[in-house]
Amino acid sequence: MPHKKTITAICIILIIFSLNSCFTKKKDFFAYKYPLIKSGNPLSIKTNGFYAPVDIKGRILFLYENRIVKEGPWVSDFFFNKSKYFDIINEDYYTQKGKEYFGSFMIKDTSIVIQLFNIHTSHNPIYRRWVFESSGLITSDTTIVLYSNFEYLNKNEFYKVPVLFKFVPYENKPDSSNAWFRNKTWYNENMHDSRR
């Protein structure tokens, strides 16, 4: 009998470990449920390229007309060494073909909220993906200032000072239809009609 209990316990432990990192914490992901524009006079932004952080190490942001957003590779001093980073962006599989690091954003007047799914199986044994939310202001059609970058899962705030992002024209953008959630029932059933 004790042998049978040991085997049962081992089986339960194996099942638990096999379920690790299988879940997505999507309850905090809500931007896609709202209209593309939540006001009458939004400030337009350019979407035929990406936004790179100025003066800090950070990830570039690809914004799309359908209000999908994708994080690209980490960059540091991008505007001092653009050619180096263009090569990385062009050749990086996770940027160009990967289905991860996508999210959604919404604009209200001059405010912007960006929600991205991060994927990290090593940081949490239960959730494979969870939401990071950045919010800030659109100061022109080529400039965004983000004041906060909040991680919902562990309740961490990452920006201590505002971060300026400037637009960079770029033709080889990743395809936004690659987003891992685009064919999920929960996404399509709750997505606002203006985003279809």
> Does residue 14 sit within a domain?
no
Q: How many domains does the chain have?
A: 1
> Does residue 10 sit within a domain?
no
> Does residue 6 sit within a domain?
no
For residues 162, 89, 87, 56, the Cα torsion angle rounded to the nearest 10 degrees is: 10
> Does residue 178 sit within a domain?
yes
Nearest Cα to 125, choosing from 27, 29, 16, 28? 16
> Does residue 29 sit within a domain?
yes
> Does residue 126 sit within a domain?
yes
> Does residue 190 sit within a domain?
yes
β pairing state of 23-24 and 127-140: parallel
Phi-psi region of 109 (alpha: psi -120 to 50; beta: other; left: phi over 0): left
Q: pLDDT tens for residues 66-94? A: 889 999 999 999 999 888 899 889 888 88
Residue 66's domain spans which residues?
A: 23-195
When pLDDT is cut at 50, 70 and 90, the band that residue 55 belongs to is confident
> Does residue 180 sit within a domain?
yes
